[in-house]
Amino acid sequence: MIKTMSEGALMNDKQSGLVTGEFDEGLKEGVYRAIYSRRDIRAQFKNDPIPEEVLSRILHAAHHAPSVGFMQPWNFILVRKEGIREKIHAAFQQANAEAAMMFSGEKREQYKGFKLEGIMESPLNICITRDRERFGPVVIGRTANQIMDLYSCVCAVQNLWLAARAEGMGVGWVSIIHDREIREILHLPSHVAPVAYLCIGYVTHFPERPELEAAGWLPRLPLNELVFCDQWGEECKPSWPELHKEIVKQKDI
């Protein structure tokens, strides 16, 4: 078995002569399958332990995300202790009650029916943080837009999410917690900010569609309405009809 995916991927690339080229069909299929079958998991966690080797691979995948100026502003706090997770869960419950009040009528009732976290049911929580000061105040690419360090961390989240899916594991992002609570509970220093609080573990199944879509909360928007050509609001249909046709035809792969 490969030690890390990056070593394995390199080895396979060398073997198949694909160091610079397109993936072969099987590899391509794997990438797209991870993307399309990834789900946010809340209610389907099994408590089976995650083998360290697999966890390490997923963390390495996250660590190989792109980052502004190669700043790698992330840390990964692996939260296993029940007592700490209980505190995080209590902070979620408080923020979730506040959130429910922001909706009214039927929407509020529907909101209250959603399960929006798996903090205690998953075998592991991971908090991905961003260190705003890593490698000093001036970082290539972050000079005009300081927020690029945050975007870099989000790339790491997505890498982790997709690698976990490929390993048969689900991830749920819990954002309904005030940052100040996460800071306090996890003892973050002031120059470090929480980015993502994630629950991870094996699952009973991956729902076919986003749960919020299946529940009729919001629909998936048609991609062709979101793609513009050259300027904001300029539809692609007139100036790039073949692309427009493909986008409409393909829908979800």
Ligand X SMILES: Cc1cc2nc3c(=O)[nH]c(=O)nc-3n(C[C@H](O)[C@H](O)[C@H](O)COP(=O)(O)O)c2cc1C
Residue ranges binding ligand X (CB under 6 A): 39-40, 42, 116-117, 172-176, 210, 212
CB of 208 to ligand X, least distance (A): 10
The residue among 9 and 212 lying less far from ligand X, judged by its C-beta, is: 212
- Smallest gap from residue 238 Cβ to ligand X (A): 31
In angstroms, the CA 54 to CA 244 distance is 40
Nearer to ligand X, 36 or 70 (CB): 36
Say which amino acid occupies 252. D
**CA 150, CA 145: separation in Å to the nearest integer?**
10
The distance of closest approach from Cβ of residue 82 to ligand X in the complex, given in angstroms and rounded to an integer, is: 21
231 three-state secondary structure? coil
Residue that is written with structure tokens 């993502």 in the block: 196
Tell me whether residue 55 or residue 118 sits nearer to ligand X (CB atom).
118
Please name the amino acid found at residue 155: C
Distance CA 141, CA 135 (A): 13
Q: Which residues of 42-63 are buried (b: 16+ CB within 10 A; e: fewer)?
A: bbbbeeeebeeebbebbbbbbb
CB nearer to ligand X: pick between 61 and 177: 177
- Minimum CB–partner distance for residue 233 and ligand X (Å): 25
